[in-house]
Amino acid sequence: MNDNNKKIPLDAKLLSYAIIELNISRRNVAIYPQEHPSMERSLMRAFDFLKQLFQLRPEITFGIAKDTIIVDEYQLDKKNPVYQEFALSLNKIHIASVTFKNGLTKDELYQFNCFLLEKIDHLPVTKVREVFKKNSFPHVAVVFIDYGTFSFKTSTTDQTTREIPLWEKYVYGLIKNPLQTEDITDAVRDIPPETFSNLLNKFSDAEIKEETYDRVITAYMRSSPQRTFSGQDCKRMFEFFNRLKPDLKKKFLSSSIRTFSQDKNLANQALAEMPFKDIIAFLDSAIEQRITVPQHLMDLITSLVPSSHGNIGDVLLHETVVLDDVLIPTDSAELLKKKNFEKLLSDKYQQDIQQLFVLHTSDLKTSQLIELEHEFIDELIDQRFNQIILELLRSETLSEIEYRSLVNIMRQQTEHLLWLGQFGQFVEILKILEINQALHRFPDINADALQYYHSSDFLALLVNSLRVLGRQKRREVAMICEYYRHKLIPYFMDALAEEDSQVIRRFLMDQLKRFGDKLIPEAMKRLADERWFVKRNVLYMLAETGAKEVTDQIKTCCRHENPKVSLAAMKYLLNTGDNYAIEMLREFLDSKEKEKIHQGVLLAGSFRIKEVVGELTALLQKQEISGSDIQDKIPVVRALGEIGDPQTVKVLQALLTGKSILYRGITEQLREEIYKTLKNYPYESIRNLIEEGVNSKNEVIRTESDSLKRKYS
């Protein structure tokens, strides 16, 4: 982020609208083709908000930390479900940040949304990066990160665990430098030393630039802009160093000594605050890593030694030196001083020791060692254990007692499998039991087990697990639905009725749609539920079946007090071609309630209902009292444009010739909208309007007219 960007704060409301519309346009890509009006509208709204942001800055960066969006140094509202959904959609394909740059085109934004929806969430980050590079996004920059490379000890607290995803983002920013250090120093200082070293240990020395070490040390240890180190900072630093890999430890220790030595007064003050044993530990670490300590720092440390006897690092007990808790007589200790000690060692032996200091153990990580590490992954151990049980259940050499024992073990493991999302292995269990039952192998044992797996309590548990983890395992979920068939319908319905998340509700409805007409009986029972959102969800699902035999029950919902229910019922009836829907549509359009009129207009346009053209044109001819009245006519013009009835053109002509002194701006918008919707009318009926439009002073009208004239010429 450059200095110019930092000087101009972003408008919070504008930023929020931009993210909401970006998320809507991303979701619409999966629903509509690019030329669909709904897709065009959502894409244009997102594009317009981004253009407004570009007026404040030439580029906008959204940092992603799991389900959190970070802009500049600020985290956006974590509880906002739209922010969460947008962040997670990027995070699942390893995106750490995305930057939109001025010059971005609407088509480029559409293509980027298509990239986000590609089936790549199962790929490693290297493959995802390759897919991104194959596309052309000159005005979109993405930083990828493999969160899977970070691991933490199980002793961390719950609070620490919750913070880790965000800390990953900050540490990655320090190392790779997509963020400015000053923006994240405060957050980095909150990371416990153990966690911070664990994060850094995932990088190799080759991945870290030389100047980065100083930046990390400064960011992590600086108490304030005026003071680099304090005694407490040094204590944290030692805890941090002690957990680093040898190659990183040497570099960071060297950097800290270099930084520490820059200001003698501050170094003196920090050392004076430290216990002497910590000073010695610091010096021992430097000697161990063969790091040269500047002479002035050595002099400063020497001046703080509490005793004039012995060398630094030696502890005296009477006349005996204590080294590493071993009592050594002073005459023997004299031999171990640096010059005498070197005389005791041959040149060859010293060379061998030197080689050990520069050895990189990472080079020794062979494929066999990597495979051995994989053997101890808990999830893999569980998976192989279950596979062994499954193989044994297929064996024909088992006694009845052994078979029963294995089935009981597998039954005990089932709940564990479900909450790990191992749905594929669960399907294997069902298959083996069914096969053994068909082969009449221990039929009573198989029958008991299958009865449990078909019980009400278990099916409720199964659907609850699918609700939480099923979106990442859709193929396995499909297999489970195929096995149980319509038995799962009431449990999916129960879960849907209680679900708050829109994303999960959509997933549950997708599963219910699999059952087709089989869900109609259960859906009709749920239609009697008093909760409006249950009625709405049932109507959505029934609409997928297209069943005409339930239209009488649906008609009662058209007059429901909640407009979302009535709208869903109207859509259902219009899809089935029921004439009652036309009657209700006329009633909506003739209503005095704006909400009903608005619903009727949208439905008439979406379903292109020619039967209500008269009611729609009546709304256009309604006398205007305020600017709001003119604004209300714009969606009516759009609906009539979708229908394209040539009888409407005379009414449109009258609107185009009308003038308003008080509401000139909104009147001009209405005229523009008329020309935007002419493309669906027969050319002969709009020829005169096009001829007038090509000479208009309004650029939008002139452009639309030129386009239509070329199309029909």
Between 317 and 249, the higher pLDDT residue: 249
State how far the Cα of 596 lies from the Cα of 593, in Å rounded to an integer: 6
Strands (E), 341-391: none
User: What is the share, in percent, of the chain residues with pLDDT greater than 90?
Assistant: 14
Does 391 have pLDDT greater than 60? Answer: yes
Query: How many CB atoms are located within 10 Å of the residue 153 CB?
Result: 9
* Residue type at 652 in one-letter notation: L
Does 302 have pLDDT greater than 80? Answer: no
Does 307 have pLDDT greater than 50? Answer: no
8 A C-beta contact, residue 145 and residue 175? no
Q: Indicate the range of 176-180, 274-278, 451-455, 585-589 predicted with least confidence.
A: 176-180
8 A C-beta contact, residue 412 and residue 386? no
8 A C-beta contact, residue 699 and residue 663? no
Between 671 and 186, the higher pLDDT residue: 671
State how far the Cα of 600 lies from the Cα of 587, in Å rounded to an integer: 8
Tell me the pLDDT tens digit for each residue of 542-561: 887 777 778 888 888 888 88
Strands ordered across the beta sheet of 68-71: 74-75, 68-71, 59-65, 95-101, 140-144
Q: Indicate the range of 354-358, 458-462, 498-502, 628-632 predicted with least confidence.
A: 354-358
pLDDT at 310: 44
* Per-residue tokens: 134: 């194959």
8 A C-beta contact, residue 692 and residue 673? no
CA distances (Å), 608 to each of 581, 617, 641, in order?
13, 14, 9
* Per-residue tokens: 538: 């049932």
Between 340 and 634, the higher pLDDT residue: 634
Does 520 have pLDDT greater than 70? Answer: yes
8 A C-beta contact, residue 560 and residue 574? no
Mean pLDDT of the chain: 77
Q: What is the DSSP letter of 695?
A: T
| 220 φ/ψ sector (left φ>0, alpha ψ -120 to 50, else beta) | alpha
* Per-residue tokens: 642: 């979708």
pLDDT at 7: 39
pLDDT at 675: 92
8 A C-beta contact, residue 110 and residue 84? no
State how far the Cα of 546 lies from the Cα of 120, in Å rounded to an integer: 34
| Residues 460-465: contacts with CB under 8 Å, at least 24 apart | 460/491, 460/494, 461/415, 461/418, 462/418, 462/488, 462/491, 463/488, 463/491, 463/492, 463/494, 463/495, 464/495, 465/418, 465/419, 465/421
Tell me the pLDDT tens digit for each residue of 610-625: 999 999 999 988 887 7
What are phi and psi for residue 321, nearest 5 degrees? -90, 135
State how far the Cα of 326 lies from the Cα of 347, in Å rounded to an integer: 27
State how far the Cα of 700 lies from the Cα of 683, in Å rounded to an integer: 19
* Residue type at 380 in one-letter notation: L
**Shortest CA distance to 74 belongs to which of 86, 62, 89?**
62
State how far the Cα of 71 lies from the Cα of 43, in Å rounded to an integer: 22
User: What is the share, in percent, of the chain residues with pLDDT greater than 70?
Assistant: 72
Calculate ∠ Cα 615-616-619, nearest 5°: 90
State how far the Cα of 641 lies from the Cα of 673, in Å rounded to an integer: 9
Does 429 have pLDDT greater than 80? Answer: yes
Rg (CA), the chain: 36
pLDDT at 320: 43
Between 624 and 380, the higher pLDDT residue: 624
Q: Over range 251-258, report the average pLDDT.
A: 75
pLDDT at 640: 93
Q: Over range 408-431, report the average pLDDT.
A: 85
Calculate ∠ Cα 466-471-474, nearest 5°: 85
8 A C-beta contact, residue 582 and residue 600? no
- Tokens 């991945």 appear where? 207
Calculate ∠ Cα 109-21-64, nearest 5°: 75
- The per-residue b/e assignment along 393-408, b for 16 or more CB within 10 angstroms, e otherwise, is beeeebeeeebbebbe
Query: How many CB atoms are located within 10 Å of the residue 372 CB?
Result: 10
**Shortest CA distance to 60 belongs to which of 20, 101, 112?**
101
8 A C-beta contact, residue 679 and residue 651? no
Strand-pair category, 74-75 with 95-101 = unpaired
Q: How far is CA 584 from the centre of its chain?
A: 42
Residues in Cβ contact with 134 at an 8 Å cutoff, skipping those fewer than 6 apart: none
* Per-residue tokens: 323: 């080294």
8 A C-beta contact, residue 525 and residue 519? no
130 confidence band (pLDDT: 50, 70, 90): confident
State how far the Cα of 174 lies from the Cα of 184, in Å rounded to an integer: 8
Residues in Cβ contact with 608 at an 8 Å cutoff, skipping those fewer than 6 apart: 642, 643, 644
Q: Over range 145-155, report the average pLDDT.
A: 49
pLDDT at 119: 74
Tell me the pLDDT tens digit for each residue of 96-108: 888 999 999 988 9
Coil, helix or strand at residue 327: strand
Between 397 and 156, the higher pLDDT residue: 397
Q: Over range 19-44, report the average pLDDT.
A: 80
Measured N-to-C along each axis, helices 489-498 and 502-513 cross at an angle, to the nearest 10 degrees, of 160
pTM of the entire predicted model = 0.45
pLDDT at 581: 85
8 A C-beta contact, residue 519 and residue 549? no
Does 448 have pLDDT greater than 50? Answer: yes
Strand-pair category, 315-317 with 320-323 = antiparallel
Concatenating the DSSP letter of every residue in 219-280 gives: HHH-SBTTBS--HHHHHHHHHHHTTS-HHHHHHHHHHHHHHHTT-HHHHHHHHHTS-HHHHH
State how far the Cα of 634 lies from the Cα of 476, in Å rounded to an integer: 47
pLDDT at 462: 92
Calculate ∠ Cα 229-204-61, nearest 5°: 75
| 320 φ/ψ sector (left φ>0, alpha ψ -120 to 50, else beta) | beta
Q: To which H or E segment does residue 100 belong? A: strand 95-101
Does 470 have pLDDT greater than 70? Answer: yes
Query: How many CB atoms are located within 10 Å of the residue 285 CB?
Result: 18
**CA atoms lying within 13 Å on the CB side of residue 187:** 22
pLDDT at 155: 41
* Per-residue tokens: 106: 């609407």
Q: Indicate the range of 33-37, 214-218, 501-505, 531-535 predicted with least confidence.
A: 214-218
The sign one gets for the Cα dihedral 303, 304, 307, 313 is negative
Task: Judge residue 258's burial from the number of C-beta atoms within 10 Å of its C-beta, 0-12 exposed, 13-18 middle, 19 or more buried.
Answer: middle
Q: Which neighbouring-strand residues pair with 60?
A: 100
Query: How many CB atoms are located within 10 Å of the residue 700 CB?
Result: 16
* Per-residue tokens: 94: 């390893």
